[in-house]
Structure 1
Amino acid sequence: MTTTSSGAVTATELDALRRAFALAARGPASGPNPRVGCVLLAPDGTTVGEGWHEGAGSAHAEVAALDDARARGRSTVGTTAVVTLEPCDHTGRTGPCSRALVEAGVARVVVAVRDPNPVAAGGARTLADAGVDVLADVLPDEGRAVLGAWLPAVERGRPFVTLKLASTLDGRVAAADGTSRWITGAVARQHAHDLRAEVDAIVVGTGTALADDPSLTARAADGTLVGHQPLRVVVGLRDVPGDARLRGEGGELVHVRTHDPAEVLAVLAAREVRHALVEGGPTLAAAFLRARLVDEVHAYVAPVLLGGGLSAVADLGVATIADAVRLVPRRVQPLGDDVLVVATPEPPASAGDDTQSEEP
């Protein structure tokens, strides 16, 4: 991103950026567009307007902030726009925010994160070319956190993949007779529904679809459907029965007839899916892990022992401990009697890594 500012960020601008992060968080977690917030500061440092993006087709955060300032009867000439993401520079469902800021007479723009989307990027250059003072990469870590799965999805050109596992302490997802309801408790199950409400698609294999007949909906604590229902994606060659619960109320059913995880993600990317939740079963989980297409693991672990039955993940082709898929824990959260472990896969070791094995 172009940075033309000769001055450092001010304390007032940092406070405004933190406010913009809070505004951005009001936007929807799902959907093709990012969460963005914007605060407009007058030359004396007072706020003249603020806004956030409420979802695809609605005004972007910068335009919302400009509209807010005008509604307050405040001038936007000479203001500073403090924005969580680089203003867009393209015309889609809405016009380019970079030009809207220039036309409003904004004198300075402070940005947390550059836009990796080649379609929308370029706003900083347009602003700089128009004589606007642009300061970039301010509190970038906080900015990336607000953008969540959207940012890596756009950077990688495919949906961000969260693999969800719900298992016993010894890694089982079903008993020897096939029963699995309920391994985890009500608190953990509701947390999983809340996660569903934040993603764009839930992915299962045909084996899970046929064996469990799931509905794959996102529900509130009282059992009712929440407002956002993700796509329900079934992967595999076998047909989904006409009377399956997947064809009932909830999100659209998408059947991807393949066993290739990369092909699944390509289909979802074409549908502007930014965050996919892979829920099952063990074969599908293993396929995504073997393809190194899992970005994050949410493991719900119940204090239950079965000693047998179906494992949470099928064969990964790991013949020796050196080839194990290792994860980096990011968060551990108690959920009633259960525990949620959020972890990310370690990058594969380089060919020259000669680290010795460790004995207990």
Structure 2
Amino acid sequence: MKIKASRVARAAALVALVGFTASCGLPRSGPNKREIYAGSVQKEGDAFIVSVNERVTRATAVVPALGFSDAFLNAGIVGSDTIRPGDTLGLTIYENVDDGLLSATGLNSSVLEQVQVDGSGFIFVPYAGRIRAAGNTPETIRRLITEKLAEQTPDPQVMVRRLAGNGATVSLTGAITGQGVYPIERPTRTLSAMIAAAGGVTVEPEAAKVKIIRGGHTGEIWFEDLFFDPTADVALRGGDRILVEADTRTFTALGATGQQSQVRFETRTITAIEAIAQVGGLRAVSADPTGVFVLRNEPEEIARQVLGRGDLIGAQRMVYVLDLTEPNGLFEARDFVIRDGDTVYVTEAPFAQWSKTIGALTGTLSAVGGLANAADSVSTIGE
């Protein structure tokens, strides 16, 4: 009689355990496909769910376009001999008399070192006065000084040397080997040459961007374009600020992937299949290859193209669905472009949830069985 009562108690406990397990949520990495589809606009949700095909891929393949404006592209290379405010000159003046205006007694020449061009672009030469230097070459300055001195001393001979070019410098900062201030000289009058002189970039070239700030204008390009497009290698101007930085775009990977994290773009463009591979692929024991989702806030113009609707206003929440088991599923994932801020989410397969339920039940039943056996042992001892 006691044995029968024990069996009844075990059966009751099993029924209660199954009911409890069914009513409680098991651990999982996120919503399943059914729950995601339940949030669609068609079911009074707030997101449009769209299956990815060739047309959708074309409409959403938007890559950030970087490039310089005409103001940068049309700027000619600055002559290496052009004098600028801040430059330092050296002057040597020869006079064809024994007792000249500038030379010491017994000498027929005078040397003026470290003559700096002031902020207004002028230099001062004794007996010649203020001479316009900025914007002129050393040869032009030589001629201007000679003309001024010729009025006071016979047949003066003038030599002008450019000693330092501190008047035309650029600053380089960011992901570059040698950050600092560099003069614009004959070998470094273009952007690529200046970056090379500073030691090159310190990030992956495929994901590097170069920005030039010139007064109130800003231009930005991909670093690789400096070599693929010769017109992008623009001429520099004094005062330019050059910033080199890694691409700041990211996407987030969640769900049944090898790694759940925020991931930086490693190349200029990245597709869905590349994004999945970058985080370790799909989990073989739990991922559902029919439930790969890309969540995005799509701009109004693109959303209208994708949905074929003209009544949409503002950015729209879009959920793009990729089924890797379809005949062209892998090709679609290979061509679908991931954008900045996207969330790539992979659902768990129904089998994975079933396995968790079975595991939870068997583990709990083992514990219950152990307690029941212990209770039986206690009852036997009591008899």
Please give the range of the TM-score, normalised by the shorter of the 2 chains.
under 0.3
- Max Rg structure: 2
TM-score for both structures, normalised by structure 2: 0.23
Whose relative contact order is higher, 1 or 2, with alpha carbons under 8 Å and at least 6 apart?
2
TM-score for both structures, normalised by structure 1: 0.24
